[in-house]
Structure 1
Amino acid sequence: MKPFRRPTFLGKSTLNGPPPPEVSEPPQKKRRISEKFEAYDTEAIAAAANILKQPKSLDKFQAPAVRKPLDNVQIPNSNLPPGSHEPTRSEGYYAVLWRKFTMKKNKTWDGDGVLSVSGGYAHLQDISGKELGKAACKAPLLVGSEMSIGGKDIEVESMISKEDFLAGRPFLGGVKQPPLTLKQIDPTEKITLKAQAKHNKIAESQRDQLHSAVDGTKASKGAFKAPLLNNTGQPQTKDSKVPTPRHDPSVEGALVMKRPRSAPPGKQIVDVVVDPLLTKTLREHQRAGVAFMYECVMGMKDYDGEGAILADEMGLGKTLQTIALLWTLLKQNPVYEEAPVIKKALIVCPVTLINNWRKEFKKWLGSDRIGVFVAEDNKVRLTDFTMGKSYSVMIIGYEKLRMVQADLQKGTGIDIVIADEGHRLKTAQNKSALAIKSLNTERRIILSGTPIQNDLAEFYTMVDFVNPGLLNKYTTFKKEFETPILQSQQPGASDKDLEKGEARSEELANITGKFILRRTAEILSKYLPPKTEYVVFCKPTEAQKSIYRAIIGSPTFNAALGSSSVSLELINILKKVCNSPNLLLKKTDKDENSTKQDLLESISPSLLKSPSASGKLQVLDSLLHRIRTTRPDEKVVLVSNYTSTMDVLAQLLSSLDYKFVRLDGTTPQKKRQDIVDRFNRSPPSNSFVFLLSAKAGGVGLNLIGASRLVLFDLDWNPATDLQAMARVHRDGQKRPCYIYRLITQGALDEKIFQRQVSKTGLADSIVDSKNSVSGFTRDELRDLFTLDESDDCQTHKLLSCSCGGKGMPLAEPEAEADSPRNDLAALSVGGKDERIIRDENGTQIIRLEEEDELPKSPQWKNAKNYDWKAEETERLRKAKECKDSNGKAKMLSLMRYAHFDTALIEEMRAGEKVDHEDGDESEDELPPADPLEGAIEDDALRNVLHEEGRRIGFVFSKLSC
């Protein structure tokens, strides 16, 4: 290759010879003149050329007048103080198309985005919420406007309202889209209308072939007759032009489902009517639940998905509602002469509920109407369900599902999945959830009496399980919903954060409210007998106090506070002390055993071996004795979360000669339902107590043979306790129910109860993951392990309740007639030192001290200058900050309980003793009133409270449906 040579722009002669002379003007190009112009006078042409060279006259030009600038119009803003002015800056929100900067001739867009302009700057995000760039933007944008931000070119596609942007709707994927055509699927190829029609025709014929293969021939349909004597279906007329429903929709009490908006071409719509066999037993709320789930799984709701969450509280009949839905979908279709909506249904539940589901199907539909396949052991052939036509419903446990998920994908597939106790699927990597998703079933329903409400990440997982993609990816959800909502709940949140957080929270509630149905047990008040719940604060014995003090005062204990794993061991040890100190004598794992031995070196073995060292066991002993003697026809369910504690309780029942049955994790699966049935049928002389493990059998079981339930210990997760406490107050219960929650006063038990109620310690993961303990700071752990030995109830002191511990509800506040709003009403009780704030229902929120400032009501002002909305919002915000600063609003639910201090009984006894010694009693003088009358309804608990020794410090009671 030749070396590079610099190109020359001048000729060789120029380079070699002398420099060229300077030219003042460039040579003029010679004008070409045709022959006919040669005759013209050359002087005339020269004169014309001179005229053209003369410049135009500027005498008539006038500069335009200076335009008066436009007046600045101030948009009123109620958030600004009077007289202040907000800088005028454009604000807007736009849907845009964006692409990276490129020099290609044929440019394409890389994706959709959202552009928000405020404060003179434009922020670009993609639809997942990721920040793409920021640039100055002072001028308003229009549809079609283009600009560059962060090295990306954007084009405004449409405008977005501020309401939609604040609600986060541009970042959600739940908007229903029309079905894609061939042209939309493959935009690079031009598809003719003829090809499009051919594609639709082929797809339609394939669907018809599939249905005919499943349904069989018309001859086989005509030859079939229902073998049931009590068939509830209507006779079908052949060749009828008018569609005939399977069941008569005009019958009184018929439950008719919602019709679809349109029918396929050439088809007709027919009414879908729930079988009268089930309708006659459905209650009003159950009828609404069946209709709700039907509309969800049929895609009739205004969201993109076919899933639903039935979050009714325990005892409302979620099982019956599900059976009614499945039976309807298995037999009917809103499109006339089409196959039923579903062919195969899968019910996934805990293993403890498998037999209960099978029993419920047999109860409501019998054995000959529907085939139910139960996958209990390895002897059954799964192909009988996947390949055969005898079984339409399969019931399987969560653990078993993981083993057979591949086999379930064979055959005709699964058309709908019901996940009972679906709060188990609260993590994205849950193996059971992944197994269900592998079935490619769009219709999914979660049944859960305790839906996740506190953790938005778990809430997102459940929503994404039933309706995948509705809330977009989790990274988007966390950025655009979870983070703004949590920021708005923080103390000192700005007005902008509050506005955004409230809008996002409201939008989230509106979206999920379309497929989540939640009803409380209050609607059972007209069907079930009343239920009374007692929270019994048992005073620790002297032995428990000594052991507790020795543990928390040991050097090993103080050194362990810095380690999360050892802190978990300390929690387990102190929980054993609260239940019964002799639990520390049992062997445990090596790590905990070494820590426990170090802590127990300074404790006398006689204290641990004492049979009466537990205050809760003493109260339980007295309570069972009173129930057995005063209510000999009633039975009791005794619940614990730990097998070792159940062993101690079993020893107590055996020593008292009480007949009992036991169900825990070691009970064989096949025997569990038999134990439940035998207990419900047998008299108290044969089985007085049902000893139940909350983890193994605390969900889904119907123990209506008992009318009283004792929850001996607490779990970090309140949902576990709520599930266990709902075992007796269920459909079929005939007696009033009493629930007793035993808590060791002043110890770790009470701290767990406070965290349950305040919902700040929904930390069931403390037991499952040692790293979760790191969520507690060192100071929080110290407070958690503190023993309060005072006679006052720590929980009652935190409430700052002014009831005096008399067990009577506080007086209802009088409505203020002159106040424009009654959301918060100030009530003076007993003087200025006891000012109480209540909500609109009369529930006490907080009691303000004398130096606390009470939120004031709006004062009368001139109507022109008075913005009552802004002032009212500010008043409520200050009231909320006041509540949060005092830390009392976290346990507002306890204000619905009546609080009774057992010290009043001691005072009554002391007064009677003094009167008796002084001899001042007169025949006409009435004896002092019993403070328990009217405060404690249950006579068994009332007799326990009257016993000597004051083993109970406080009692919280609540009467519900």
Structure 2
Amino acid sequence: MKPFKTPSLISRHPSASSGGEPPAKKRRITGDREHSPDPDVAAVAAAAAVLKAKPIKRFQAPGARKPLNTINNLSAPFESVSPETSTDSYYTVLWRKFTNKKHKTWDGDGVLSVVGRYATLQDVSGKEMGRGATKGPLLIGSELSIGGKEVEVESMITKADFLAGRPFLGSMKKPEPAPTLQEINEVSRVSIKAQTKHDKIAATQKESMGPKITASKATKANFKAPVINNNVQAPKVDSVVPIPRHNPDGPNALVMKRPKTVPKGKHVVDVVVDPRLTEKLRDHQRAGVAFMYECVMGMKSYDGEGVILADEMGLGKTLQTIALLWTLLKQNPIYEDAPVIKKALIVCPVTLINNWRREIWKWLGKERIGVFVADDKHTRLTDFTKGRSYSIMIIGYEKLRNVQADLQKGGIDIVIADEGHRLKTAQNKSALAIKSLNTERRVILSGTPIQNDLAEFYTMVDFVNPGLLNKYPVFKREFETPILKSQQPGASSKELEKGEARSKELAEITSMFILRRTAEVLSKYLPPKTEYVVFCRPTPAQIKVYQAIIGSPTFNAALGSTSVSLELINVLKKVCNSPTLLLKKNDKGESATKPELLELIPQALLKTPGASAKVQVLDSLLHRIHTTTEEKVVLVSNYTSTMDVLAQFLTSLAYTYLRLDGSTPAGKRQGLVDLFNRSPPSKSFVFLLSAKAGGTGLNLIGASRLILFDLDWNPATDLQAMARVHRDGQKRPCYIYRFLTQGALDEKIFQRQVSKTGLADSIVDGKSGASGFSREELRDLFTLDESTECQTHKLLGCKCGGDGLLAPIPCESDLPERNDLALLSETTTPVSDPEIEETEVLRMDYDSDEDPVPVPKKLQWKTGNQTDWKAQEAEIERKARDCVDAAGKTKMLSLMLYSHFDTALIKPVAAAPAHDKIMWGDDEPPENEPAEEVDALDAAIEDDVLRDVLREDGRRIGFVFTKRST
């Protein structure tokens, strides 16, 4: 308790006489001073005595000894490395704000990523919380301070897990924590001291416990219970034998997967799909029923009971769903328990309600199941919710919003959402109505689950399995944004690595509950299908109208206004279909086109007969089909005004037709379809169909040819419409014709469609329709290419020459080392390295009878003084330019599955010289006889009708892309 003394600021340096030694202690001043010896003299005397007693030995070099053995420290998890050679490391951590409390608690979990010596702290939602430097390696239990937070390392995670984003989805596998003393004693509160003591005892017991020893089968077999006077009771034989509803060993029996756990005292029984259905199911449909059953029963490795059946149109999604519902309504894998579900709700577009009821009665019969249809005739929902007569209810999306409160009282066990891509927005009223039913088992049926972007995809996934991909802000930050960044042409290597890892992880997660099969599985059940993309060259009248519009002052205004640009896009669409559409009036009798645009266009061009290239090609095609075949045609358009023009055109040519559009009553639609399928061509030659009103759920198998007159921004709309004829029950080979105006807006829409489908049905696309265009993209959209070359074919960089042969697709080994598909131009057009000089051209050995064998090139490397650095710089710049537009090429790589035919190669049959012929057939002709030869058109186009149209004078078609079903 001495008072505080201010420290002296005077520096005390040692005296020079002491030679750097600390100053000697002062002599004590006491009463017996004269009797006490001097301390310095005594110390010197003692040191001299020691030196005399121990003489100094001279230094001797140590003798040779064995070198030390090098021992690797295997237990050390980290090594101290320099920042240049350090690798990235990632950890799961606990964090909290600074506090002075005695008993501190952690505020939350986080993820710590260390790159070099700098660490970044994120919470489990991916939000960055701070950055800071780290000193030395981090071990489990290490503590540090980052961004004003106290952090403790909990565990280390791999780089692959971090790049995949698993810590942010909560999908990391963590060891289950030991039960607390509070949970064991079932009390509301336990002191910290008692809990700490319990943890220490539990840890000690865990360490002392050895491996669990179990008796082998041989030991159990040799063991016999001791018998003393025969008083040991024999084990009771279980008399309960589970009997399945249907024979699991029967022919074509479809047995569902068994659950892993069973309640105590219960037995498992096989769930077998009704043989009445399995005898009609195809292989892919059997697999689909089993897949959906495992999902809705919670047998998959994800948290949820939802599933998305994303098969393409025509694969029998309705039949698979009926088989699933009938199985769940009648059976349970737990023996003697009630069926899994009692009430099922099917929500679909109003146009498909009757189709669902008819399909259920077709496969199950009216007497076996009760189907309640919620329409204007049946308004008393208690018959379904409270009664026992009905097990399935069918209702439209709009009607569901009005009756959701009544359905909540009855209890729905499973919901089937047909055409579920309608639920692609988070605020969709129908989706909110279904969620209000509190039904965990949700099934989405959609032939086009991914239509625009990842936000819509997230909404659908979160609908069937809520919370699986975390909240949308977390998903957008950790998945959507990195994936979109990696698709940009200027993405860095780290962005590419992270985006690819996140995309792969997203695909792996969703593949557990999304089943997608293409129409190719029907190739062995249906006749072949051929799709033709017909590029119609614009007429002179169309070119003049098009140029007048894009040369008007409205064009410059459209580049700066979204609303004006959309209006101008709609005007150009009409010009591509037919310039006469600009004269159409709306419901109020007013012109649908702006007067300032019409004033700039000569009226004579709008009234010119045959001003549309598409109508001219359609005229020739229908004439050939009507006069040379007995087939019928489905003519599809996305716009009612275009359908009016086509209806006038069909009437003028005396072609009989039926029409179905948005104004057709729902009760009459199926009757029109049945009438068309049964009637001969003389009664109904053409079925005029609106793609958006009747593009789903309609089987127009009475026709074997379909013409898609115009295109929609959404590829799903066109794909659904094109699948109307190639379905079960079709007996003829099918031909699909997609019309588009070459070099105009139509071709740009087609390119966008292909980009949205992406490479191998990619689930992601950065653009979502016409409203998202930049100024440069709009300028490109409005450009009219009047050249004879096909812009799409040129953009692909395809080197097929337009001969109609299938274009080669670059294989994975041909791709660049970093596996960047954005460099497609480098894989399709090989470029020589300026440092490599070819000394021998690639030769083919044709001397033998075997197939030609390529001879490898001999390469000679140039020395440094021979290198042309200017050529190197030019090559680098060229690759950079290729990367700028390579993203579009990559997304359009699916067009390489088509064969590309340039109609400029067509020549009159009589004038075609011999060297323009193509050898055809496997057999060689006999000697001295001419070989059977076929021109380029016959080799490229198999359809006789289209070949005749292409041979007509005028060359109205510039290019044809062809894809045949395998």
d(CA) in 1 for partners of 2:337 and 2:111? 44
d(CA) in 2 for partners of 1:446 and 1:725? 22
Asked if 2 retains the 8 angstrom alpha-carbon contact of 1:541 and 1:613, the reply is yes
Deviation, 1:928, is 8.6
> C-alpha offsets along residues 444-493 of structure 1, whole Å, 9 cap, x if unaligned?
11111112176222221111111111111111111222222223333343
From the superposition, tell whether residues 746 and 185 of structure 1 become closer, same or farther in structure 2 (CA, over 3 Å). Answer: farther
Q: Name the SS of the counterpart of 2:806 in structure 1.
A: coil
Deviation, 1:503, is 2.1
Query: Which segment drifts farther, 529-538 or 109-118?
Result: 109-118
Please give the TM-score of this superposition, normalised by the length of structure 2: 0.75
1:614 paired to 2:618:
no
d(CA) in 1 for partners of 2:288 and 2:769? 37
Residue type at the aligned position of 1:951: R
d(CA) in 2 for partners of 1:74 and 1:530? 66
Q: Name the SS of the counterpart of 2:939 in structure 1.
A: coil
Q: Name the SS of the counterpart of 1:129 in structure 2.
A: coil
Q: Name the SS of the counterpart of 1:109 in structure 2.
A: coil
Alignment RMSD, CA only? Answer: 4.1
Asked if 1 retains the 8 angstrom alpha-carbon contact of 2:816 and 2:827, the reply is no
User: Gaps (5+ residues) in structure 1?
Assistant: 1-8, 11-53, 61-69, 76-83, 192-238, 763-769, 816-820, 827-836, 862-877, 916-923
1:103 paired to 2:104:
no
In the TM superposition, 1:743-758 aligns within 5 A as 743-758=740-755
From the superposition, tell whether residues 591 and 673 of structure 1 become closer, same or farther in structure 2 (CA, over 3 Å). Answer: closer
Asked if 2 retains the 8 angstrom alpha-carbon contact of 1:353 and 1:700, the reply is yes
Q: 1:644 aligns with which of 641, 644, 647?
A: 641
Asked if 2 retains the 8 angstrom alpha-carbon contact of 1:286 and 1:317, the reply is yes
From the superposition, tell whether residues 859 and 476 of structure 1 become closer, same or farther in structure 2 (CA, over 3 Å). Answer: farther
> C-alpha offsets along residues 289-347 of structure 1, whole Å, 9 cap, x if unaligned?
10001001111001111111111111111111111111111111111111111111111
Asked if 2 retains the 8 angstrom alpha-carbon contact of 1:121 and 1:138, the reply is no
Which residue is 1:623 aligned to?
A: 621
Residue type at the aligned position of 1:510: E
Query: Which segment drifts farther, 249-258 or 92-101?
Result: 92-101
Q: 1:522 aligns with which of 520, 532, 542?
A: 520
From the superposition, tell whether residues 360 and 895 of structure 1 become closer, same or farther in structure 2 (CA, over 3 Å). Answer: same
Q: 1:687 aligns with which of 681, 684, 691?
A: 684
d(CA) in 2 for partners of 1:379 and 1:185? 55
User: Gaps (5+ residues) in structure 2?
Assistant: 4-41, 52-68, 75-80, 191-237, 760-766, 839-855, 861-877, 917-928
Q: Name the SS of the counterpart of 1:410 in structure 2.
A: helix
d(CA) in 2 for partners of 1:276 and 1:333? 17
1:948 paired to 2:953:
yes
Q: 2:939 aligns with which of 911, 934, 937?
A: 934
Residue type at the aligned position of 1:726: A
From the superposition, tell whether residues 902 and 310 of structure 1 become closer, same or farther in structure 2 (CA, over 3 Å). Answer: same
> C-alpha offsets along residues 68-103 of structure 1, whole Å, 9 cap, x if unaligned?
xx999999xxxxxxxx98535575433222222233
Q: Name the SS of the counterpart of 1:419 in structure 2.
A: strand
Which residue is 2:920 aligned to?
A: none
From the superposition, tell whether residues 593 and 327 of structure 1 become closer, same or farther in structure 2 (CA, over 3 Å). Answer: same
Which residue is 1:511 aligned to?
A: 509
Q: Name the SS of the counterpart of 2:634 in structure 1.
A: strand
d(CA) in 1 for partners of 2:325 and 2:269? 18
Query: Which segment drifts farther, 317-326 or 117-126?
Result: 117-126
d(CA) in 2 for partners of 1:677 and 1:927? 46
1:502 paired to 2:484:
no
Q: 1:713 aligns with which of 710, 714, 724?
A: 710
Q: Name the SS of the counterpart of 1:933 in structure 2.
A: helix
Residue type at the aligned position of 2:534: V
d(CA) in 2 for partners of 1:294 and 1:474? 28
Q: Name the SS of the counterpart of 2:585 in structure 1.
A: coil
Query: Which segment drifts farther, 449-458 or 414-423?
Result: 449-458
Query: Which segment drifts farther, 124-133 or 713-722?
Result: 124-133
Please give the TM-score of this superposition, normalised by the length of structure 1: 0.76
Which residue is 1:417 aligned to?
A: 415
Q: 2:652 aligns with which of 641, 651, 655?
A: 655
Residue type at the aligned position of 1:890: K
d(CA) in 2 for partners of 1:156 and 1:945? 72
Query: Which segment drifts farther, 454-463 or 264-273?
Result: 454-463
Q: Name the SS of the counterpart of 2:163 in structure 1.
A: helix
Which residue is 1:233 aligned to?
A: none
> C-alpha offsets along residues 802-842 of structure 1, whole Å, 9 cap, x if unaligned?
333222235799x9xxxxx844599xxxxxxxxxx999xx9
Asked if 1 retains the 8 angstrom alpha-carbon contact of 2:576 and 2:744, the reply is yes
Deviation, 1:558, is 2.9
Which residue is 2:723 aligned to?
A: 726
Deviation, 1:378, is 5.8
Deviation, 1:719, is 1.1
d(CA) in 2 for partners of 1:926 and 1:165? 64
d(CA) in 1 for partners of 2:139 and 2:186? 28
From the superposition, tell whether residues 907 and 71 of structure 1 become closer, same or farther in structure 2 (CA, over 3 Å). Answer: farther
Query: Which segment drifts farther, 375-384 or 723-732?
Result: 375-384
Q: Name the SS of the counterpart of 2:616 in structure 1.
A: helix
1:463 paired to 2:445:
no
Asked if 1 retains the 8 angstrom alpha-carbon contact of 2:713 and 2:769, the reply is no
Deviation, 1:723, is 0.8
d(CA) in 2 for partners of 1:141 and 1:951? 72
In the TM superposition, 1:326-725 aligns within 5 A as 326-377=325-376, 379-411=378-410, 413-452=411-450, 455-588=453-586, 593=591, 596-632=594-630, 634-725=631-722
From the superposition, tell whether residues 611 and 163 of structure 1 become closer, same or farther in structure 2 (CA, over 3 Å). Answer: same
d(CA) in 2 for partners of 1:100 and 1:858? 66
Asked if 1 retains the 8 angstrom alpha-carbon contact of 2:452 and 2:768, the reply is no
Deviation, 1:663, is 1.0
Asked if 2 retains the 8 angstrom alpha-carbon contact of 1:90 and 1:140, the reply is no
d(CA) in 2 for partners of 1:794 and 1:726? 27
d(CA) in 1 for partners of 2:257 and 2:600? 72
Asked if 1 retains the 8 angstrom alpha-carbon contact of 2:807 and 2:896, the reply is no
Which residue is 1:870 aligned to?
A: none
Asked if 1 retains the 8 angstrom alpha-carbon contact of 2:814 and 2:827, the reply is no
Deviation, 1:844, is 11
From the superposition, tell whether residues 613 and 342 of structure 1 become closer, same or farther in structure 2 (CA, over 3 Å). Answer: same
1:896 paired to 2:892:
no
d(CA) in 2 for partners of 1:941 and 1:586? 31
Which residue is 1:957 aligned to?
A: 962
Deviation, 1:773, is 4.8
Which residue is 2:788 aligned to?
A: 791
d(CA) in 2 for partners of 1:784 and 1:937? 33
Asked if 2 retains the 8 angstrom alpha-carbon contact of 1:174 and 1:471, the reply is no
d(CA) in 2 for partners of 1:179 and 1:409? 38
Deviation, 1:790, is 2.2
d(CA) in 1 for partners of 2:954 and 2:931? 26
Asked if 2 retains the 8 angstrom alpha-carbon contact of 1:351 and 1:396, the reply is yes
Asked if 2 retains the 8 angstrom alpha-carbon contact of 1:848 and 1:854, the reply is no
Deviation, 1:645, is 0.6
Which residue is 1:37 aligned to?
A: none
Residue type at the aligned position of 2:449: P
Asked if 2 retains the 8 angstrom alpha-carbon contact of 1:843 and 1:896, the reply is no
Which residue is 1:94 aligned to?
A: 91
d(CA) in 2 for partners of 1:127 and 1:90? 23
1:134 paired to 2:131:
yes
Deviation, 1:176, is 9.1
From the superposition, tell whether residues 735 and 94 of structure 1 become closer, same or farther in structure 2 (CA, over 3 Å). Answer: same
Residue type at the aligned position of 2:675: R
**Matched residue count:** 794
d(CA) in 1 for partners of 2:820 and 2:327? 47
Q: Name the SS of the counterpart of 1:341 in structure 2.
A: coil
Residue type at the aligned position of 2:829: R
Q: Name the SS of the counterpart of 1:807 in structure 2.
A: strand
1:160 paired to 2:165:
no
From the superposition, tell whether residues 597 and 881 of structure 1 become closer, same or farther in structure 2 (CA, over 3 Å). Answer: closer
d(CA) in 2 for partners of 1:289 and 1:167? 28
Q: Name the SS of the counterpart of 1:808 in structure 2.
A: strand
Deviation, 1:123, is 2.1
Q: Name the SS of the counterpart of 2:416 in structure 1.
A: strand
d(CA) in 2 for partners of 1:371 and 1:180? 51
d(CA) in 1 for partners of 2:452 and 2:513? 19
Q: Name the SS of the counterpart of 2:828 in structure 1.
A: strand
d(CA) in 1 for partners of 2:651 and 2:769? 38
